[in-house]
Amino acid sequence: MKKELIFLLVFIVGVFSFYVSAMQNESAIVEANVFAVFSPEDLVSIEVPDYIFLGNVSEGEVGDKIRVYVNNTGSVDVTITPELKNSGDDVFENLYFQNRQSGNNSVIYIIGDYSFDIAKPSSSGVRSEYFWMWLDLSEVNGITEDRIGEDEEIIFVALPKS
């Protein structure tokens, strides 16, 4: 019985050794996309209307003032400067701006000389501000035909307020 027990023990050890030696190690490649931390402290982002209609204005007249809202959706105070995309436009080079009216002493600016500030949003993520805009064709001469649908692209350049 002792011989059988030793034989059985040797057999079990042999089978176990075979299985252990038959095992193999495997490896895997692990991949991940790692991104830098985004710093929202310096985010400049604004929203402007897609389209602004200034109404009907004739040569020699001043158009109605239109209230235009701009949203600061970034995370810093911004200074915004409207500019004509195509300088030299004989109509829209007479585009005027004014900050929120504060009596008769509010300063009026022509396009190219005007900029305004919007403070950074609170926790809501948006801060809205408005200004007045209009066409002043009172000094324009030489428009010889009606220009229905006259338009020009205005670029609102937004920079962090310095």
- Specify burial of residue 114 (Cβ count, 10 A radius: 0-12, 13-18, 19+): buried
Number of H helices, E strands in the chain: 1, 8
Residue 149 CA: distances (Å) to CA of 49, 56, 136: 18, 10, 17
On whether the 43-160 domain is CATH 2.60.40.1090, my answer is: yes
DSSP-assigned beta bridge partners for residue 72: 46, 127
φ, ψ for residue 55, nearest 5 deg: 85, -165
Q: What percent of the chain has pLDDT over 90?
A: 56
Residue 159 in this model has a pLDDT that exceeds 90: yes
Q: What's the alpha-carbon Rg for the chain, to the nearest Å? A: 36
Residues 6 or more apart whose Cβ sits within 8 Å of residue 78: 44, 46, 72, 117, 118, 120, 158, 159, 160, 161
Assigned token pair, 70 = 């701009």
Q: Where are the domains of the chain?
A: 43-160
- Report pLDDT for 17: 61
State the residue for tokens 């209230």: 67
State the Cα–Cα distance between residues 97 and 116, nearest whole angstrom: 10
- Residue 128 C-alpha from the chain's centroid: 14
Residue 90 in this model has a pLDDT that exceeds 90: no
Assigned token pair, 66 = 């239109």
φ, ψ for residue 158, nearest 5 deg: -115, 125
The 10s digit of each residue's pLDDT in 50-78 is 999 999 999 999 999 999 999 999 999 99
